[in-house]
A and B are shown apart, each in its own frame.
Chain A
């Protein structure tokens, strides 16, 4: 089978201008004719020699840290910007969705914006008219169709925008991190819509920081780092490598020479929760100068840095407190995460005298991803939804 998309050693070079000028002025470039100061310029490769093929019907997840070149790659694929070197061969109609609501105009009504946006995304007027009712239905904004967009709430604007995009029917669909919008219900709708698209045999290229979404949607992954492709292959393997690389080591070590009563010398994640497992296993090494009773606290923060959860051995129950021996102490800790939102967490740890004193604090020692993969069926929260970090168990009974 011939690839529908061939990316052949594509690079994109930007010239960094160290003078902080946002754009060129005519005077400057005329001055440049007389004055040569190449010292202020520096080449920056947003992409360096990236090649891969995409077969028809494949869904490819592109992952990598911020600044890895994912968006640049998508921009090149969607012909928005040309590659500096390399070649792209496309054998199909591409539609790209790098932003929701491209071309939305706040003065125009919802109805008018559906047509405008649809047309900009490459739909024919006839197509839009045919799908109009479905689009409106999907967005859930029928009441406001004739209201200028500026009076829409931002959530409604996003929903309308995504609804239009959801009805695109290209052979190749390029999507950049747009699923991180709207409320949970809408998110779910979007995900299942995307699955439909993928199942209908169309080709998808999808950039996201949401590993669960990538895993769910994509058969193949491409991992970029600093503009270069680190690996491509099966989604699980690529995500695994990515997490291993970008989440840093699973081991945190420090040489404590400080004169502390007791301190962490090593924290190691021995088992990351994967699949249907919900607990994280930690090996912890503590050095203590005296025999001491302490409480051990574990704090989780979301990737964005918000405190998300707290667990402790000892803080809430003094009888539980650990007794440290002089010298090296090793513990195995298991923290149950079920009910937590899927996503990246950083782990911090404290040794305390509960409510009195900190003996040692280790901030963001490790980064891990909680990725409960049965999640979408079981409706576990995703961090990206911004609904919080814990799904409350709710039960109800008829009175």
Chain B
């Protein structure tokens, strides 16, 4: 994977991430508040629109949505950022060499930064609804987040590489993200308890396992470890595939971009 090279250039991760964060909120009146405002507004909208649709007995619906949404956002903004990153940094790629993986990974680091910014929102929700995280499940928190990151890296790098060659993916990415959001956030696997095969197919979406683990800690929801295992394997497969395709094609990026 060229880890050595990546390590030598580690400061570039910082600079690219820092640049993207700076630029993202430059000349905005509300600045970093936007990072919190977006999931807050989404939570409100979803709560109003879908609360009747699949109410959870013991969990306040806004909390359910918010906990899923902020983790989902790592994936959603990570994938769209990484997917377009090689093209939007084409001018740099054509003029200087550094390990190319730094670019999509930095876009994902930006998404992780946004996630950390939104964590207080979740904590406020927890306090407001007087829900305490299940500390017995605390190990699920890092694993859930790590899984979200791995799940984002694979498709992110894959799309970044493909987008350099086939600009069609510029249009595929938003569609993909929306479709997966629908699958991940709105289809409640519990409703399909009678259809195990369907549940297992849904679990192929790596984010479903990641969010299940995250909610396992935050909301104390029961976790189906078989489904999580499927998600985990899927995440790893996509990760390896994404990195492999990226590494395989990266040397020609400057010619194609």
- Check: A81 CB closer than 8 A to any chain B CB: yes
Taking a contact as CB atoms under 8 Å apart, the answer to whether B15 and A25 are in contact is no
Counting CB contacts under 8 A, is B191 at the interface?
no
Supposing A24-B166, A120-B12, A125-B11 touch, asked if A98 and B22 sit within 8 A by C-beta, the answer is no
Q: What's the Cα separation between A96 and B97 when bound, in Å? A: 8
Given contacts A23-B165, A80-B254, 20 further A-B contacts (CB under 8 A): A23-B256, A24-B166, A26-B166, A29-B166, A75-B254, A80-B93, A80-B95, A80-B97, A81-B251, A82-B252, A96-B96, A102-B96, A103-B92, A105-B23, A108-B22, A108-B26, A120-B92, A120-B98, A124-B11, A148-B26
Task: Give residues 1-60 of B contacting A (CB, 8 Å).
Answer: 11-12, 14-15, 19, 22-23, 26-27
User: Which secondary structure characterizes the binding site on chain A?
Assistant: loop
Interface residues of B in 214-251 (CB under 8 A from A): 251
Q: What's the nearest-Cβ distance from chain A to residue B110, in Å?
A: 14
Q: Chain A residues near B93 (CB, 8 Å)?
A: 80
* Contact residues in A for B251 (Cβ distance below 8 Å): 81-82
**Any chain A CB within 8 A of the CB of B167?**
yes
**Residues of the A chain whose Cβ atoms lie less than 8 Å from the Cβ of B12:** 119-120
For residue A25, which residues in chain B have a CB less than 8 angstroms away from its CB? 166-168
A270-281 Cβ-contact flags toward B at 8 Å (1 or 0): 000000000000
Docked pose: A79 CA to B95 CA in angstroms:
10
Task: Check if B23 sits within 8 Å of A78, measured CB to CB.
Answer: no
Please indicate which of the listed interface residues B14, B27, B93, B98 has the most CB atoms of chain A within 10 Å of its own CB: B98
What is the size, in residues, of chain B's interface with A at 8 Å between Cβ atoms?
26
Other-chain contact of B91, A102, A108, A122, A148 (Cβ < 8 Å): A102
B167 with A119: CB separation less than 8 A: no
Across-interface contacts of A105 in B (CB, < 8 A)? 19, 23
**A115 contacts partner chain B, Cβ-Cβ < 8 Å:** yes
**Residue positions of A touching B, CB distance < 8 A:** 14, 23-27, 29, 75, 78-82, 96, 98-99, 102-103, 105, 107-108, 112, 115-116, 119-122, 124-125, 148
> Complex formed: what's the CA distance from A44 to B22 in Å?
42
A26-B23 in contact (CB<8A): no
| Interface SS of B by simple majority | helix
A-B contact pairs, 26 of them (CB 8 A): A23-B167, A23-B256, A24-B166, A24-B256, A25-B168, A26-B168, A80-B97, A81-B251, A82-B252, A98-B95, A99-B95, A102-B91, A102-B95, A103-B92, A105-B19, A107-B26, A108-B19, A108-B26, A112-B22, A115-B15, A116-B15, A116-B19, A119-B12, A120-B96, A121-B96, A125-B14
Q: Choose among A82, A96, A102, A125 the residue that contacts B92 (Cβ–Cβ < 8 A).
A: A102
Could you say which residues of chain B place their CB within 8 Å of the CB of A14? Answer: 255
Q: Answer whether residue B94 sits at the interface, using C-beta atoms and an 8 A cutoff.
A: yes
Asked whether A24 lies within 8 Å of B165 as measured between CB atoms, the reply is yes
Q: Which of A81, A116, A148 sits near B255, CB closer than 8 Å? A: A81
Complex alpha-carbon distance, A79 and B252, angstroms: 10
Query: A98–B168 contact, CB under 8 A?
Result: no
Please provide the 8 A-B residue pairs with the shortest distance between their CB atoms, ordered closest to farther: A79-B97, A119-B15, A26-B166, A26-B168, A82-B251, A102-B95, A99-B95, A81-B254
Q: Which residues of A contact B97 (CB under 8 A)?
A: 78-80, 96
Contact A98:B96 (CB < 8 A) given known A81-B251, A119-B11, A125-B11: yes
| Residues of the A chain whose Cβ atoms lie less than 8 Å from the Cβ of B26 | 107-108, 148
Residue contact A107 to B23, C-beta cutoff 8 Å: yes
Minimal beta-carbon separation of B92 from chain A (angstroms):
5
Q: Is the CB of A122 within 8 A of B15?
A: no
Give the distance in Å from the alpha carbon of A98 to the alpha carbon of B97 in the complex: 11
Interface residues of B in 73-109 (CB under 8 A from A): 91-98
A residues in contact with B22, CB < 8 Å: 107-108, 112
Q: Across the two chains, which residue of chain B brings its CB closest to A96?
A: B96
